[in-house]
Amino acid sequence: MSESEHGSGHGLRLFGKTIPLYVQILIALLLGVGLGILLGAGQPSPQAALIAKDLAIPCSLVLKALRALATPLILLAVLHSFLTTNIPGRAGRRLAVLLLTNTLAAILIGLLVANVLQPGKWERLTLPADAETVTKSFDPWGLLESSVPEAVLKPLVDNNVIQLIVLALAFGIVLRGLKNKQIAEGKTDYVAVEQFVTIFFEAVIRILMWVILLVPVAVFGIVAKTVTLQGFSPFKALGAFIIAVLLALFLQGCYYLVRVKLGSWITPKRFLTGGSDALLTAFSTASSTATMPVTFRGLLEKVGLRESSASLGALVGSNFNNDGTALYEAMSALFIGQVLGLNLNLEQQLVVILTSIFASVGAAGIPEAGLVTMTLVFTAVGLPTQYIALLITVDWFLDRCRTALNVMGDMTVSCLLDGKERKQELEPGLEEVLMPEVD
């Protein structure tokens, strides 16, 4: 998919100029604050309170649409990756282990920071009257038992992320096997299925883009409503959340540098200098998919990796590997739990870990995709998804930061796959062209 579709495709055109999405959101935020102050800033008149309630409608519509799109998006993203990417067997297993350990590290760092700093307790928020609270009791074995869906379409209907991933993996593995068999036999029936999945995947992403276009309106409404009814205290709470997320992302970045230093021939300095274009592109587009070509080129030409390692990490990793998103989703669940005074216990946090892994695998590498799959994490632990609305107001910024981390994670995996010694590529012709000395 083209860069404009993923990265900068959210511009609103005004007087011949494109206003990027984050500027629109910033403007919406300011206008929302202004209206909230006009309507009473925490002490609204009964009339203003009524208006404020209606202001939340665009936001709940956006959240509903995101929830509805989440399951097809995950299913199609996983099927698409299985059908269209080529991973050699041994490297594939190594890749899977690296991806899993890095994602687990990210989630654990996120949970650690959220448990230690407790950003949700810095400021108390009132629970909206219509929010359901956590009442389920959590049972990991029950979770395992319920990971197999009762009917094939049920996970899609129930928005059950764990069942959905089980289904997607089963179909993905089988379809890939059939494709390989058919290629060996010179048959081409699989092409139709591959095209079908690719087109539907693109279609869901395009609809998602429409929804994302509405995010500024949603932010305006929810900020105006929140300021009108509760004043500024919710935003103080969000300040604490931003600090906690940035700290966790920073620690995860340090973890990558240590892994690269210990597990590959690349020095952290070379890694950061060679990857700087990719990291900056990720921050400015908020899309790891749009950044993918830059990441790949940086790894090949500036860091100097073999083509096979660069492509496995950057191209495959950018589909599956979203550590920054996993960290963010886990922290958001804990944060909202703390804000509501519902501390998630150990088992609930285990559910958060498990669902965040799946949710990050399923998150597409496009702006705000983490918000889509976050609804599934919240549902799994029984947290009210209305609170994601609060996070939308700061997501334009945190999305950029976690996207940079997602890309850094892909780069790390590539470096680790390249190994401790700088080896020559199997096809030396390509190597000479693509691997000039850089230091």
Residues at the interface with ligand ASP (CB under 6 A)? 286-288, 322, 325, 363, 365-370, 399, 402-403, 406
What's the rounded Cα separation, in Å, for the pair 180 and 83?
10
Beta-strand ranges (E) seen in 272-420 are none
Residue 234 beta carbon to ligand ASP: minimum distance, rounded to whole angstroms: 22
Q: Which is nearer to ligand ASP, 122 or 335 (CB)?
A: 335
Residue 364 beta carbon to ligand ASP: minimum distance, rounded to whole angstroms: 7
Q: Which is nearer to ligand ASP, 78 or 366 (CB)?
A: 366
What is the dihedral sign for C-alpha 283, 62, 234, 39? positive
- Which residue's C-beta sits nearest to ligand ASP? 370
List of residues 6+ apart from 141 with CB closer than 8 A: none
Residue 282 beta carbon to ligand ASP: minimum distance, rounded to whole angstroms: 7
Q: Read off the tokens for 409.
A: 């994670």
Residue 185 beta carbon to ligand ASP: minimum distance, rounded to whole angstroms: 37
Taking Cα atoms as reference points, which of 393, 396, 67 lies closest to residue 225? 393
Residue 405 beta carbon to ligand ASP: minimum distance, rounded to whole angstroms: 9
Query: With b meaning 16 or more CB within 10 Å and e meaning fewer, what string describes 75-108?
Result: bbbbbbbbbeeebeeeeeebbeebbeebbebbbb
Opening angle at CA 136, ends 238 and 376, nearest 5:
55
Q: Which is nearer to ligand ASP, 171 or 397 (CB)?
A: 397
Residue 149 beta carbon to ligand ASP: minimum distance, rounded to whole angstroms: 26
Q: Which is nearer to ligand ASP, 125 or 369 (CB)?
A: 369
What's the rounded Cα separation, in Å, for the pair 374 and 392?
11
Q: Which is nearer to ligand ASP, 81 or 406 (CB)?
A: 406
Q: Which is nearer to ligand ASP, 167 or 407 (CB)?
A: 407
CA dist list (Å): 73 to 154, 230, 336: 15, 35, 24
Residue 360 beta carbon to ligand ASP: minimum distance, rounded to whole angstroms: 8
Backbone dihedral region of 423: left (phi > 0), alpha (psi from -120 to 50 degrees) or beta?
A: beta
Beta-strand ranges (E) seen in 184-243 are none
Residue 285 beta carbon to ligand ASP: minimum distance, rounded to whole angstroms: 8
Q: Which is nearer to ligand ASP, 149 or 253 (CB)?
A: 253
Q: Which is nearer to ligand ASP, 369 or 391 (CB)?
A: 369
List of residues 6+ apart from 271 with CB closer than 8 A: 257, 260, 303, 411, 412, 415
List of residues 6+ apart from 181 with CB closer than 8 A: none
